[in-house]
């Protein structure tokens, strides 16, 4: 009975029209056809476009940076430059819309960036990659990551660190934000230090996480480490001595070089003012100038030994040839040549010891312009030194055909030409050695150095003895070093201001070597525009030379070659005026 009632239900007895069922079926088929057409369109005709859009958003080529080589001093234990981990903070502007204004303000503050600049960068919705800041420290990057700001991502990179700071700034130089060398050794040996970066093509999700690798990883090739010729201890001593002298004499600038006589290695090179290569804001202005290599100046009296040596080498004079310098004034070619004091009759040793301009003028009369130019050129003046360093100056040495007799005379005592401190230090190696100049290098030398013969060994020995007297009791007393025999020459040159030689602006220099019995180092020092405590090279620059030589020879373990009791006490005002 129940069963009959079920089959006789009026609801079930209603017959659906056939056209309605067919319509539903057609609509379903049309829907599936539309989906199929859309799928075919997306996977066929629009495949390249969509793939490109997907790659723009999520596929990245990650640069695997090569670790830049370290720079060491000659000992291989003191690091002068190295690469440390850092992070680049970047954003996908479209994704940062989900970030709160507080998040953005906090991020701007942490990156030390004006909020307006942060908002400007994040407003570039057409960009999928915008740098916010490069080379952020590991600690700061960790703090930023903990904020979990939408659209803000990080990328590993390297940052250059310079542990010795301003002391070696002009030697080592620095790199730019892309880790390419801009100054100093970083620039000169950029290709060796840089290495070869690798790459990794990946797909990232919206959170910047790597989902998968698209292509095989190309590993990076790390850069080479470099060992410089610089001795960190000697560098500190030179830097400290220059800094003290600059402050004491209220000078505009100062520079110094220490060269190993035997190998030609530059053991120390310092300039003031200097800068901190770790601080990008400090890398500007005159402080960047490597004055010892790039600045040129009229050398003054430190040029005199080269002229005297030439005259001896050509046998135009001997050590017994006498010159009457008179009362300190000498009329020559319509001009008056002056000495600081009356020197009377002098031989060549006396001319160097008393630094007589008149005596040098008389010696120049025995030489031709061509002979002087040829010798000066052999010594490296007027051409850039081969020192593995960018920006080295060549100085100025005009063609000898255009020299007038008065110019030949002034060049004989250091005016009318310009040199760099590196050039003059290099040339003095001829007197410290057997008349040959050793080739210079800023890298630790492995093999035997080359040299160029400038004077005969006999003449080099004669000048060496004369320079020892010039730095002795009757010369620049302040250059003396207890326990060691030293040789050298002071120089005081007037600077040209507005086309005329100034009466108030000078450059004070001293160049010499020690120990005389077996020279080990050449030290060249120049102080630019000393304003207090005198301006003569024998007073201003000679004490720096003495300090640097004393500390350097002791650090190098060079045995004293002068009995201590035989040394004359250094006086307070007994230096040679020139």
Q: Which residues are catalytic?
A: 301
Q: State both tokens at 531.
A: 């304003």
**C-alpha dihedral sign at 267, 271, 275, 277:** negative
Contact 132, 111 (CB under 8 A): yes
Give 559's DSSP letter: P
257 alpha carbon, distance to own chain's centre: 14
Place of tokens 């290495």: 195
Q: Which of 166, 167, 162 is nearest to 186 (CA)?
A: 162
Rounded to 5 degrees, φ, ψ at 186 are -55, -35
Closest C-alpha to 436, from 353, 397, 380: 380
Give the pair of three-digit tokens for residue 517.
């019995």
CA distances (Å), 186 to each of 172, 472, 515, in order? Answer: 6, 41, 34
According to DSSP, residue 416 is labeled: S
64 and 218 Cβ atoms separated by less than 8 Å: yes
CA distance 90 to 124: 13
Q: How many CB atoms lie within 10 A of CB 496?
A: 14
Closest to 152 (Cα-Cα) out of 105, 209, 89? 89
**In angstroms, rounded to a whole number, what is the distance separating the alpha carbons of residues 543 and 22?**
112
Helix (H) or strand (E) segment spanning residue 170: helix 169-172
What is the total residue count of the chain?
578
Q: Coil, strand or helix: which one is 449?
A: coil
Neighbours of 13 (CB within 10 A): 8
Cis peptide bond N-terminal to 562, omega within 30: no
Burial 206-229 (b: 16+ CB within 10 A, else e): eebeeeeeeeeeeebebbeebbbb
Taking the alpha carbons of 71, 74, 76, 80 in that order, is the dihedral positive or negative?
A: negative
Between CA 338 and CA 413 the distance in angstroms is: 11
Q: Which of 545, 573, 578 has its CA nearest to residue 479?
A: 545
Helices (H), 365-448: 369-378, 405-412, 421-432
**CA dist., res. 94 & res. 58, Å (int):** 13
Q: Reduced to 3 states, what is the DSSP secondary structure of residue 542?
A: helix
On the 0-12 / 13-18 / 19+ scale of CB atoms within 10 A, 49 is exposed
Tell me if 263 sits within 8 A of 539, measured CB to CB.
no
Assigned token pair, 89: 């903070």
**CA 26 – CA 23 distance, rounded (Å):** 5
């Amino acid at each position: 009975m129940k069963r009959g009632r079920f089959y006789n239900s009026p609801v079930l007895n209603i017959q659906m029209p056939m056209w309605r069922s067919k319509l539903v079926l057609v609509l379903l088929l049309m829907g599936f056809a539309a989906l199929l057409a859309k799928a075919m369109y997306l996977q066929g005709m629009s495949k390249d476009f969509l793939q490109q859009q997907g790659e723009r958003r999520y596929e990245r080529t990650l640069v695997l940076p090569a670790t830049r080589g370290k720079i060491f001093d000659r000992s291989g234990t003191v690091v002068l430059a190295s690469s440390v981990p850092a992070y680049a903070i970047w954003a996908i502007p479209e994704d940062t819309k989900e970030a709160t204004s507080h998040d953005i303000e906090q991020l701007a503050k942490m990156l030390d960036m004006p909020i307006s600049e942060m908002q400007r960068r994040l407003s570039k919705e057409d960009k999928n990659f915008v740098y916010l800041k490069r080379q952020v420290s590991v600690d700061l990057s960790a703090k930023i990551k903990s904020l979990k700001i939408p659209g803000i991502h990080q990328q590993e990179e390297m940052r250059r660190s310079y542990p010795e700071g301003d002391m070696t700034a002009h030697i080592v130089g620095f790199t730019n934000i892309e880790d390419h060398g801009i100054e100093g050794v970083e620039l000169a040996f950029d290709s060796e230090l840089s290495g070869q970066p690798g790459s990794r093509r990946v797909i990232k999700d919206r959170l910047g996480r790597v989902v998968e690798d698209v292509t095989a990883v190309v590993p990076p090739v790390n850069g080479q480490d470099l060992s410089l010729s610089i001795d960190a201890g000697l560098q500190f001593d030179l830097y400290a001595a220059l800094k003290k002298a600059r402050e004491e004499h209220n000078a505009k600038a100062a520079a110094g070089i220490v060269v190993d006589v035997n190998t030609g290695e530059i053991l120390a090179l310092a300039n003031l003012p200097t800068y901190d290569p770790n601080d990008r804001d400090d890398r500007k202005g005159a402080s960047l100038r490597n004055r010892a290599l790039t600045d040129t100046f009229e050398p003054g009296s430190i040029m005199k030994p080269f002229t005297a040596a030439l005259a001896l080498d050509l046998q135009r004079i001997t050590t017994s040839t006498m010159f009457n310098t008179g009362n300190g004034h000498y009329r020559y070619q319509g001009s008056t040549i002056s000495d600081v004091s009356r020197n009377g009759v002098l031989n060549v040793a006396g001319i160097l010891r008393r630094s007589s301009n008149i005596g040098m003028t008389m010696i120049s009369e025995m030489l031709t312009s061509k002979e002087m130019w040829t010798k000066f050129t052999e010594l490296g003046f007027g051409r850039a030194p081969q020192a593995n360093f960018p920006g080295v100056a060549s100085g100025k040495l005009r063609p000898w055909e255009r020299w007038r007799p008065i110019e030949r005379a002034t060049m004989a005592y250091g005016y009318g030409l310009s040199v760099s401190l590196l050039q003059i230090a290099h040339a003095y190696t001829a007197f410290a050695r057997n008349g040959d100049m050793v080739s210079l290098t800023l890298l630790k030398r492995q093999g035997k150095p080359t040299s160029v013969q400038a004077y005969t060994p006999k003449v080099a020995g004669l000048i060496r003895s004369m320079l020892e007297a010039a730095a002795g009791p009757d010369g620049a007393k302040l250059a003396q070093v207890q326990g060691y025999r030293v040789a050298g020459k002071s120089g005081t040159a007037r600077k040209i201001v507005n086309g005329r030689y100034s009466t108030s602006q000078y450059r004070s220099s001293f160049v010499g070597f020690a120990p005389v019995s077996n020279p080990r180092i050449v030290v060249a020092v120049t102080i630019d525009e000393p304003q207090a405590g005198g301006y003569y090279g024998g007073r201003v620059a000679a004490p720096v030379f003495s300090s640097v030589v004393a500390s350097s020879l002791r650090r190098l373990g060079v045995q004293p070659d002068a009995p201590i009791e035989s040394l004359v006490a250094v006086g307070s005002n007994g230096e040679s005026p020139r």
